[in-house]
Structure 1
Amino acid sequence: MTYTPVVPFSGYAGWKFLERTMEKQQAAFVASAQVQRDEDYFREKIGSITSAEELVSDRRLLKVALGAFGLDDDINNKYFIRKVLEDGTIEPDALANKLSNKAYYNMSAAFGFGLSTPNTGMSDFADDILSKYESRQFEIAVGDQDDSMRMVLNAQREFPEIAGSTSSQTTKWLKIIGSTPLATVVKTAFGLPSAFGSLDVDKQVEMLSAKSEAFLGTKDPTDFTGDTLEKLTKLYLVRSQMTSGNSMSGNSTALMLLQNTSRSTFSLLV
């Protein structure tokens, strides 16, 4: 039996509860029987895997490998995954380098089947993959209770990675736009319509930069950490709650914003 995360409230209140109880809840989830069986099997077998073909031929190993990078839905796409892994990431024409979803690149780089010696035999390899697997699977379990919370967990993990990269400001915005979950968070937080995604990508970057400066005080995703990320999280959850028509009324949500954000930011939101 797998532990079911507890998310008793929606919106920002629910996020603060989840944040406070995260360590204990994630530990309980990881300790559940199904997760432990998956992890024990992976630890036992992965060191003997030396090729992408061997990995994709073992469904239990592949489940963990894909799950560690948020690619669970590709479990039946064995030929495609094998190609991604076999090509590696070094050559410019490698499949992982051509795909917009960089999770494939990260997975291929982690396993290293494109190298003369894969990374699967390294002493810390299983620990690294299983740590990713635990985080991703906990996010999925939380999302089964409240999808907006899964979006926030994903944002809390991925925004600091983008912020810490050496990419230019524009490239960082392009990475955000290219990630459906991150793009959803910023578009919702900034009150942008669904049609926004159909605009030319340069125009999207321009508008997101302007909205970010108006709401967060910065147009650079390098700053999407700490207090700025917390403010973005709050804006996303409040906006999401206002549009979902759930138990908190629009007036109550607006009052919460008024109490927790600056007057200038609130005037922009409403």
Structure 2
Amino acid sequence: MSTFSDYIQVTQNLARYQKMTASDPTIAQATKYYQANIGSIKSADQLVNNTRLFNYVMSAYGLSDMTYAKAMIKKALEEGTSSSSALAYKLNNSKITALVNTFNFSSYGESTTQQTAVTQGVVDKYVMQTLENKQGESNPGVQLALYFRDHAAGISDAYSILADANLLKVVQTAYGISSYSSVQNIDTQAATFDKLLTYSDFKDPKKLDNFLQRFTAQYDFANGQSATGSASGGLTSPSFLLSLQGLKLGGF
């Protein structure tokens, strides 16, 4: 199976995959605890000091590798995002910014954890993040494609991509851009993306699918995988790859 066909299999049956993930005993137990206790959290300090809740939230935002940084996350949560000098922006990590926007104690105070984005939105993110991780165990390309699909609506410019390692990996792979280009000046990298991409296209489902088809085909090609089942001879067949080269860059 190709990365694209695996990706399509998941997205066309996404509700079923999400339900299966949510019903996993370990996931269900973690979610039950979160839903039963998050409403009692009234401050950033209480959140970071409740290990089970904090780990759940960090996992939901793809930040499980940063659970050690409690002091930093606490400070970011307390400052919020209303000021351009807030720590959430200084860290230049879109995942942290998204986390702080949801748990915006600076703006909502003790009512923060009563917001729908917290009570249900975080649960949805946790399930989706877990689903992506599980797919990544068998095919990291599928995980990247699902991640990009889930975050595409938030891409407004080149810097939105450059601030997120996963989004950056997808774009670099789709256009055959070396990862070593990341050492270039950030404005130089942004200028390159401006020539290649029309960012508003990521909000168009059809154009987004076309882009992710390009990514998954290039991912398989770069990783020596062969696609099967395509009417045109496979997504990484020579004819398909040649068609990719002929695509107008701005329209994927």
Normalised-by-shorter TM-score class: 0.7 to 0.9
Q: Deviations over 1:88-137 (max 9, x none)?
A: 22233321121210221221221122234341134663112211211122
> Measured at CA, do residues 134 and 256 of structure 1 come closer, stay the same or move farther in structure 2, by a change above 3 Å?
farther
- Change in CA separation of 1:235 and 1:185 when aligned onto 2, cut-off 3 Å: same
* Correspondence for 1:227 among 206, 218, 235: 206
- Who is 1:138 aligned against? 131
Question: What is residue 264 of structure 1 aligned with on the other side?
Answer: 246
| Equivalent pairs, count | 241
Matches within 5 A, 1:93-172: 93-115=85-107, 116-122=109-115, 125-163=118-156, 172=157
Which 5+ residue runs of structure 2 have no aligned equivalent?
none
Q: 1:258 to 1:77 in 2, by over 3 A?
A: closer
**Which structure would you say has the larger RCO, counting Cα contacts within 8 Å and 6 or more residues apart?**
2
Segment of structure 1 superposing worse, 27-36 or 13-22: 13-22
Q: Which amino acid aligns with 2:240?
A: L
Instruction: Tell me: CA distance 1:174–1:45, structure 2 relative to 1, closer, same or farther (3 Å).
Output: same
Aligned to 1:182: 167
TM-score, reference length from structure 2? 0.86
Give yes or no for the alignment of 1:42 onto 2:34: yes
Confirm or deny: 8 A CA contact 2:62 2:95 kept in the other structure. Answer: yes
State whether residues 173 and 205 of structure 1, in contact with CA within 8 Å, keep that contact through their aligned partners in structure 2: yes
**Which residue does the alignment assign to 1:193?**
178
Percent of paired sites with the same residue: 23
Contact 1:111/1:118, CA 8 A, preserved across alignment: no
The answer to whether structure 1 residue 204 and structure 2 residue 189 are counterparts is yes
Q: How far apart in 1 are the matches of 2:241 and 2:39?
A: 55
Closer/same/farther in 2, CA of residues 44 and 204 from structure 1, 3 Å limit: same
Structure 1, unaligned runs of 5 or more: 1-8, 164-171, 213-218
2:16 aligned partner: 24
Q: Structure 1 length as normaliser, TM-score?
A: 0.81
Bigger mean CA offset, 186-195 vs 91-100: 91-100
User: Does 1:244 pair with 2:230?
Assistant: no
For the pair 1:74 / 2:66, whether they are aligned, the reply is yes
Could you tell me whether the CA contact under 8 Å between 1:186 and 1:232 is conserved in 2? no
The Cα RMSD (Å) is: 2.4
> 1:205: how far off?
2.4
The superposition leaves residues 141-178 of structure 1 with CA deviations (integer Å, 9 ceiling, x where unpaired) of: 11122111110011111112225xxxxxxxx1111122
Distance, in Å, in 2 between the alignment partners of 1:19 and 1:88 is 34
| Alignment correspondent of 2:78 | 86
